[in-house]
Amino acid sequence: MKNQALPIAKEQADINEFIRRTVIHFINDPANSDKEFIFNPYNGSAAASIDPKWFQRMMDNLIANAIKYDPAGMRITVSISPIEKQLMIITIADDGKGMGNETLSKLFQRYYRGTNTNNSGSGTGLGMAITKQLVQLNKGSINVKSKPNRGTTVRIILRINMNEN
């Protein structure tokens, strides 16, 4: 990705259904039974031209981070909503430990790993850097807001075709 050599094979996809299946995958994993998941789809159709493989990787990275860096009993909410007819926002929010300003400012740097994990030997520090590049490849933007002991909210804005039902 660093050299812009990532093969992209875009196809039309229903974003509501795509993300719903992703959330169900995490719900059905017994390792996540100590977390609560909420999915709030867009009340309409949300079709986008995405590369399913890379879009899946992006969503998996974000939800897995919410699971990995927070304690049992935490809630993860994934929402889809329109901004305009051509834009949508995907929000992944948790009510977990959150991050301080230093971690937040370095979050998208390659090989940076935050300190809010009990398992210091896991991860390469590439997940969020890769996620940001995947969002940008889809001509989108990503923003993360977090406060210690108040949780984290990740917002992705993507170009999309939305139709009301």
Instruction: Provide the pLDDT for residue 38.
Output: 97
- Answer whether residue 45 is part of any domain: yes
Residues of the chain with pLDDT under 50: 1, 116-121, 165
- Answer whether residue 99 is part of any domain: yes
- Answer whether residue 4 is part of any domain: no
Pair 24, 144: CB distance under 8 Å: no
**Domain membership of residue 66 as a residue range:** 11-139+148-164
- Count of structural domains, the chain: 1
- Answer whether residue 75 is part of any domain: yes
For residues 164 and 141, what is the distance between their CA atoms, to the nearest angstrom?
24
**Which sign, positive or negative, has the C-alpha torsion 80, 9, 21, 152?**
negative
Instruction: Provide the pLDDT for residue 117.
Output: 43
Q: What are phi and psi of 145, to 5 degrees?
A: -120, 135
For residues 141 and 87, what is the distance between their CA atoms, to the nearest angstrom?
11
pLDDT in tens, 89-108: 999 999 999 999 988 888 88
- Answer whether residue 94 is part of any domain: yes
- Answer whether residue 152 is part of any domain: yes
CATH, residue 54: 3.30.565.10
- Answer whether residue 42 is part of any domain: yes
Instruction: Provide the pLDDT for residue 73.
Output: 92
What's the whole-number average pLDDT of the chain? 84
Pair 96, 151: CB distance under 8 Å: yes
- Answer whether residue 1 is part of any domain: no
Q: What is the pTM of this model?
A: 0.84
Instruction: Provide the pLDDT for residue 138.
Output: 76
